[in-house]
Homo-oligomer: A and B are copies of this chain.
């Protein structure tokens, strides 16, 4: 069924949530979003893979980029969407189909904004950075993302979140020697050899750091573990994957150095890495937006693609409906009030 961009933002969010779009499975949602945007005569639309860019070309001096990703993490018993009083529940309501719904509504209903707008809807944000649609656009079509300011509609409780933490994933692998478990002393158990790594993770205390008046809190987590040959065999290999979320005062190199120091003596292989972004609240475009929408400003913990805009030289903030603590959780949800607040404030900013 075609997406109705004239629907209420809550209904539109629900419709998007009910289009399953786990990372790498965005074909249908991208097709539907593209079709809805192509039906709007005031927008010119281009597509690359499952990422879509729609823009006004009114000749304004300023251009703002409004962006959101179409994919979600895997379903966790939280589909279909369900409206319960003032809260919409379901996978992606918070991260970030609520924000996508607001952007689509604005794209359809603000044909003559007072600044030119580039809407970006992209794929594969929730998995390894190599797949990220916005990253590909930045490499292959950087002109599509050009602008004076960017708003990434990641959940921020309808407030402005500035900067973002970096993220790095490393595989920590141990080697042992296989043997029959009945004569285990002839072998060496690679799973047991991960014991000091798990002990370090279990004892980890996160660092907190204040930047531009905002406090960032880091995180160090095992996100996958595997090992084993068969039920009778001392395993000769095991692998633990660790995700490090680091405050934007560390570079990727510094983050890796921290991991080497923390897991000294173990082999680390970096499988994914993305830099953080400093808050940059002192830049004029960011400051002007913050003042115009009148929202509170806080730090962004999650890694978001504001870092990509930062690298392109475009000042960027996160501003979207939903509390990010519900992102990736079974009880993911977005308050209706957040959807309306973000839609109303952005509409006012784009039309005044």
Which residues on the B side are within 8 Å of A329 (C-beta)?
Answer: 178-180, 186-187
Contact of A206 among B185, B224, B227 (CB under 8 A): B185
A167 touches B182 (CB 8 A): yes
Residues in A245-270 with C-beta less than 8 Å from chain B = 245
Which residues on the B side are within 8 Å of A198 (C-beta)?
Answer: 191-192, 194-195, 198-199
A191 touches B126 (CB 8 A): no
Instruction: Determine if A230 is an interface residue (Cβ-Cβ < 8 Å).
Output: yes
Which residues on the B side are within 8 Å of A95 (C-beta)?
Answer: 180
A303 touches B182 (CB 8 A): yes
Q: How many residues of A contact B (CB 8 A)?
A: 64
Min CB gap A304→B, angstroms: 9
Specify how many copies of this chain sit in the oligomer.
Answer: 2
Q: How far is the CA of A193 from the CA of B191 in the complex (A)?
A: 15
Residues in A135-184 with C-beta less than 8 Å from chain B = 165, 167, 169, 178-184
What 1/0 flags go to A182-225 for Cβ under 8 Å of B? 11111101011111001101100010000000000101111111
Q: How far is the CA of A167 from the CA of B74 in the complex (A)?
A: 38
Instruction: Determine if A234 is an interface residue (Cβ-Cβ < 8 Å).
Output: yes
Q: How far is the CA of A221 from the CA of B192 in the complex (A)?
A: 8
B325 touches A179 (CB 8 A): yes
Instruction: Of the listed stretches A4-12, A99-107, A109-117, A235-243, name the one at the interface; the rest are far from the partner chain.
Output: A235-243
Other than the given A167-B182, A181-B221, A191-B223, 14 more pairs (CB < 8 A) read A181-B223, A181-B245, A189-B221, A191-B224, A192-B221, A194-B198, A198-B198, A222-B227, A223-B228, A223-B229, A224-B227, A225-B238, A231-B241, A231-B243
A sample of 13 inter-chain contacts (CB < 8 A) reads A128-B231, A186-B329, A189-B201, A191-B201, A191-B223, A191-B224, A195-B198, A198-B198, A223-B233, A224-B235, A225-B225, A225-B238, A232-B243
